[in-house]
Amino acid sequence: MRHFLVHLSRHFLYFIIPAGCASCGEEIAEGGGRLCARCYAGLRFVNAPFCDACAVPFASTEHSEADGLCLECRQTGPLWQKGRAAFVYEEQARQLVLGLKYGGRTEYADILAWFMVQAGKDILRDDVVLVPVPIHRSRLWRRGYNQAALLVNVLSRLTGRECYPNALRRKRSTHPLARLTRGGRRKQVHDVMVLNSRYREKLQGRHVVLVDDILTTGATAEACTKVLLENNCISVDILVAARVTLFESLERQKGKFDA
Ligand SMILES: [Zn+2]
Ligand SMILES: [Zn+2]
């Protein structure tokens, strides 16, 4: 609760004090948005061409075959349909995501969600419902919030789409460092997600956009998708703030990254 109040007051101050850059605090020229030019320049957007399912950017159009999928998705396609990411998980985007997730910078959800709306334009159709990837309640108590649920709330506010921030529940905590390979991570998150029963009827026959801060191996998103489809959702698409690429995962394996 105390954590939550600290976050809340920080969020509030952000709105009453004339804000500089939301990331570094530098002064911003009038009408310059929430990030200064330097921080903005540090963002690497996921621009086309990218994989239609997992949003990994292609080095060139040569990799994008007629189906628009990367090799991995073509071989073992995920259960969800489309995947969209605002940024590649590096530099500035990484700072924003980590700040939101571990640094209590809940106001970053506003910035990230704004860019996620641009990235997810084609999947945020009128009839979709937004559902966040859940975190385990032990983590929720410690952190005071689920960063994906914060993103969902802002996305819903920006787009007017319906949202169910508590639709999914995580039965047990999983170790974040074990998400290095798709197979290993898949085994770990198998059967870890459940649908809260009071959302069963509400979600029946709906198209879901599943929201998270980052997409790494996709195993967590897949576990959520499986539960949603088993409970008669028509389709699931994925929308994340940042896509962790293979390179980033390898760097983290070497201990350079702390996510
Ligand atoms: Zn800045
Ligand atoms: Zn892919």
> CATH number of 2-253: 3.30.70.120, 1.20.1250.20, 3.30.360.10, 3.40.50.2020?
3.40.50.2020
Give distance in angstroms: CA of 122 to centre of ligand 2. Answer: 17
Ligand nearest to the CA of 19: 1
Ligand nearest to the CA of 20: 1
Give distance in angstroms: CA of 58 to centre of ligand 2. Answer: 9
Ligand nearest to the CA of 49: 2
Note the pLDDT of residue 182.
64
Instruction: Provide the residue ranges of all domains of the chain, joining segments of one domain with +.
Output: 2-253
Ligand nearest to the CA of 35: 1
Give distance in angstroms: CA of 51 to centre of ligand 2. Answer: 5
- Exposure string over 152-178, b if 16+ CB within 10 A, otherwise e: bbbbbeebebebbbebbbbeeebeeee
Note the pLDDT of residue 34.
83
Note the pLDDT of residue 16.
46
Give the 3-state secondary structure of residue 76.
Answer: coil
Note the pLDDT of residue 169.
96
CB 186 within 8 A of CB 222: yes
Give distance in angstroms: CA of 217 to centre of ligand 2. Answer: 10
Kindly write down the DSSP assignment for every residue of 82-123, as one continuous string.
-EEEEEESSHHHHHHHHHHHHS--TTHHHHHHHHHHHHTTTT
- Over the chain (259 residues), what is each successive 10-residue block's mean pLDDT? 53 54 83 82 93 89 73 90 96 94 94 96 97 94 95 98 97 66 70 94 97 93 96 97 75 47
CB 240 within 8 A of CB 116: yes
Task: Please give the Cα distance from 122 to 179 (Å, whole number).
Answer: 29
**Residue 157 region, left (φ>0) first, then alpha (ψ -120 to 50), else beta?**
alpha
Note the pLDDT of residue 30.
67
Ligand nearest to the CA of 55: 2
Give distance in angstroms: CA of 34 to centre of ligand 1. Answer: 8
Note the pLDDT of residue 259.
39
Give distance in angstroms: CA of 22 to centre of ligand 1. Answer: 7
Residue type (1 letter), 92: Q
Note the pLDDT of residue 5.
54
* Distances in whole angstroms, Cα of residue 254 to Cα of each of 184, 248, 258: 17, 10, 10
Give distance in angstroms: CA of 53 to centre of ligand 2. Answer: 5
